C-alpha cells in the first residue's frame, strides 16, 4: 500500500466535510438520505408547522426523559431542548453515524444524549441513561419502508419503554406508523399537517 492509497480516504473525508460546510445542515441531511434512503423518512427536514403540532400535546412539566428516533440533523432536537426542563434529558437514537457525528459537533447542550444504535434497543438505552422509562418518544422513521420485522419490534419495544401517562409520537407520509401504534397503545389521536413537504400524517399514542 502506497502513501497515496492511505491518503485517499482522508482526502475523500475532507471533500465530504467541505461539501457539508458549503451546503450547511441541508447538505448533511441530503447526504444521509442518499446513503440510506430506506432509513430516512424524507429528502427534506420537517417544517416548523409539523414540529409545533407534534410537540404541542407533550406535558413538558412532567417530562424528564424524551427520546427521539431518527433525529437526522436535529430538526426536532433543538425545539425539544427549548421546551425540556433543565433537569431533563433528550436521547436521540440513529443508526446513521453521519447524523450522530453531526449532532455531536453541533449540539453542545449537556442534556442532549446522541446514541448510535437501533430504536429496537430503546429499553436498554433508556436504562443506560439512568431511567426506568421514557416519558415521551418521538419517531420520524419510515415504518413503511423498514426491513421486514423491524417496525413491529420497534413498536413493541417503544410501548414497553414508555411510562404510563406518556406517549409515542409519530409523523409519516403513510399510515404504517399509526397502525403499528394502535396495536399497542389504547388511545391514539390522529392529525394531518398540510404545511410540510410532503404533507404528513401525525399520531399520538397514549399509554393510559
Q: What is the mean pLDDT of each successive set of 10 residues along the chain, which is 208 residues long?
A: 48 50 50 48 72 97 97 93 98 92 94 97 98 97 89 97 98 91 96 86 96
Question: What's the pLDDT at 168?
Answer: 98
Q: Look at the chain and report how many structural domains it folds into.
A: 1
pLDDT in tens, 101-150: 999 999 999 999 999 999 999 999 999 999 999 999 999 998 988 889 99
In a domain, 59, yes or no: yes
CATH of the domain at 160: 3.40.50.150
Residue 57: which domain range?
36-206
Instruction: State residue 77's pLDDT score.
Output: 96
Is the residue at 13 inside a domain? Answer: no
* Separation in Å, CA 123 to CA 18, 20, 31, 128, 156: 37, 33, 29, 9, 10
Residue 178 included in any domain: yes
Amino acid at each position: 500500500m502506497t502513501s497515496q492509497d492511505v491518503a485517499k480516504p482522508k482526502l475523500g473525508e475532507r471533500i465530504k466535510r467541505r461539501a457539508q460546510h458549503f451546503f450547511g445542515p441541508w447538505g448533511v441531511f441530503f447526504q444521509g438520505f442518499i446513503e440510506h434512503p430506506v432509513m430516512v423518512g424524507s429528502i427534506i427536514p420537517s417544517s416548523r408547522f409539523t414540529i409545533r403540532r407534534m410537540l404541542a400535546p407533550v406535558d413538558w412539566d412532567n417530562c424528564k426523559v424524551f427520546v427521539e428516533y431518527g433525529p437526522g440533523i436535529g430538526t426536532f432536537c433543538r425545539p425539544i431542548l427549548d421546551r425540556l426542563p433543565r433537569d431533563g434529558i433528550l436521547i436521540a437514537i440513529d443508526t446513521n453515524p453521519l447524523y450522530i457525528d453531526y449532532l455531536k459537533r453541533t449540539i453542545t447542550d449537556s442534556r442532549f444524549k446522541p446514541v448510535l444504535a437501533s430504536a429496537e434497543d430503546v429499553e436498554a438505552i433508556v436504562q443506560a441513561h439512568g431511567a426506568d422509562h421514557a416519558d415521551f418518544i418521538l419517531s420520524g422513521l419510515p415504518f413503511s419502508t423498514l426491513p421486514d420485522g423491524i417496525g413491529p419490534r420497534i413498536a413493541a419495544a417503544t410501548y414497553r419503554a414508555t411510562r404510563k401517562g406518556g406517549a409515542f409520537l409519530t409523523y409519516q407520509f403513510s399510515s404504517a406508523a399509526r397502525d403499528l401504534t394502535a396495536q399497542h397503545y389504547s388511545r391514539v389521536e390522529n392529525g394531518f399537517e398540510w404545511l410540510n413537504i410532503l404533507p404528513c400524517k401525525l399520531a399520538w399514542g397514549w399509554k393510559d
